[in-house]
């Protein structure tokens, strides 16, 4: 494997940066290309067919262009819908993002877990299967929180986060049967950990947030164990829509080690 061959991280927007942050901890030398389908954001409001077509098509193009050694679909919505299809099409290892129901079910003391995701993610049969397999005898209270995707995008652009969006997401969980028992919350969208502080303040009592980022980073490192890494140029962020041209946006990306920005 060429030491400069990158790892490709894919999301609809800035959410995958939460996965990149964990990946940097375990593979600090790995060259990375961060690709965001910002022209297709938000995925959560799209149909399964549309998401599958966009994700499979774009990963094909990205993989052709950048020749990654492995791709991480750092998006729950894209993974729960298109992972199988992408694996069939690409010849490289693909790591997907799975709603962290298993660790959350193991952690809860009250037996009640909240799950925040996009509308497209929380209606997936795959999520029903995770619940049936790993949360037997527990309550999993789901709520679609599409507003949190835009709120996370705003925060990362340096714009204010509307507190009503955070409040509505938390109330959407609490107001359901068993909602008052929730002590553990699965952040089943990679955008949501970017709002963990805001969400924590909106809960009436402490809750533990669980997401998949650390597990994805560990899985990626184990699949690439023994491979050489060397960065031949600064890491790249690539967007399908015109990227925000403000210096603050470039600065935010550079805190994740992404020093070049391009439009696909």
Q: Which residues bind ligand DGL (CB under 6 A)?
A: 11-13, 15, 41-44, 75-77, 118, 121, 149, 189-191
What would the 3-class secondary structure string for 186-214 be?
A: EEECCCHHHHHHHHHHHCCCCCEEECCHH
CA distance 177 to 140: 10
- The burial class, CB within 10 Å (0-12 / 13-18 / 19+), for 126 is middle
Q: Indicate if 189 belongs to the active site.
A: yes
- Identity of the residue, 9 or 70, whose beta carbon is nearer to ligand DGL in the bound complex: 9
Task: In angstroms, give the least distance from the CB of 34 to ligand DGL.
Answer: 13
The residue among 5 and 131 lying less far from ligand DGL, judged by its C-beta, is 131
Helices (H) and strands (E) in the chain, counts: 11, 10
Provide the minimum distance between the beta carbon of 8 and ligand DGL in the complex, in angstroms, as a whole number. 16
Per DSSP, 97 falls in state: -
Rounded Cα distance, 54 and 60, in Å:
10
7 or 149, CB closer to ligand DGL?
149
Q: How far is the CB of 72 from ligand DGL (least distance, A)?
A: 12
CA geometry: angle at 103 spanning 98 and 108, to 5°?
A: 135
- Is the Cβ of residue 77 or residue 240 nearer to ligand DGL in the bound state? 77
The least CB distance from residue 54 to ligand DGL, in Å, is: 10
Determine how many CB atoms are found less than 10 A away from the CB of residue 259. 13
Would residue 75 show up in a list of annotated catalytic residues for this protein? yes
Active-site positions?
75, 189
């Amino acid at each position: 494997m060429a030491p400069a061959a990158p790892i490709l991280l894919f999301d609809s927007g800035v959410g995958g940066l939460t996965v990149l942050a964990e990946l940097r901890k375990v593979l600090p030398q790995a060259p990375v290309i961060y690709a965001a389908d910002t022209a297709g954001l938000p995925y959560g409001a799209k149909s399964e067919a549309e998401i599958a077509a966009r994700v499979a098509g774009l990963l094909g193009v990205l993989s052709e262009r950048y020749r990654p050694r492995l791709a991480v679909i750092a998006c729950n919505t894209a993974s729960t819908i298109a992972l199988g299809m992408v694996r069939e099409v690409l010849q490289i290892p693909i790591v997907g993002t799975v709603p962290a129901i298993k660790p959350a079910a193991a952690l809860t003391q009250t037996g009640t877990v909240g799950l925040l995701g996009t509308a497209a993610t929380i209606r997936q049969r795959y999520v029903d299967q995770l619940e049936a397999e790993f949360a037997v005898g527990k309550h999993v209270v789901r709520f679609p929180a599409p507003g949190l995707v835009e709120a996370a995008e705003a925060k990362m652009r340096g714009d204010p986060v509307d507190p009503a969006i955070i409040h509505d997401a938390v109330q959407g969980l609490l107001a359901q049967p068993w909602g008052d028992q929730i002590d553990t919350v699965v952040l089943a969208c990679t955008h949501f950990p970017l709002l963990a502080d805001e969400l924590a303040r909106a809960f009436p009592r402490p809750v533990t947030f669980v997401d998949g980022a650390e597990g994805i980073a560990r899985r990626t490192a184990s699949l690439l164990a023994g491979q050489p890494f060397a960065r031949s140029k600064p890491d790249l962020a690539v967007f399908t829509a015109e990227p925000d041209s403000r210096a603050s946006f470039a600065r935010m990306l550079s805190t994740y080690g992404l020093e070049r920005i391009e439009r696909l």
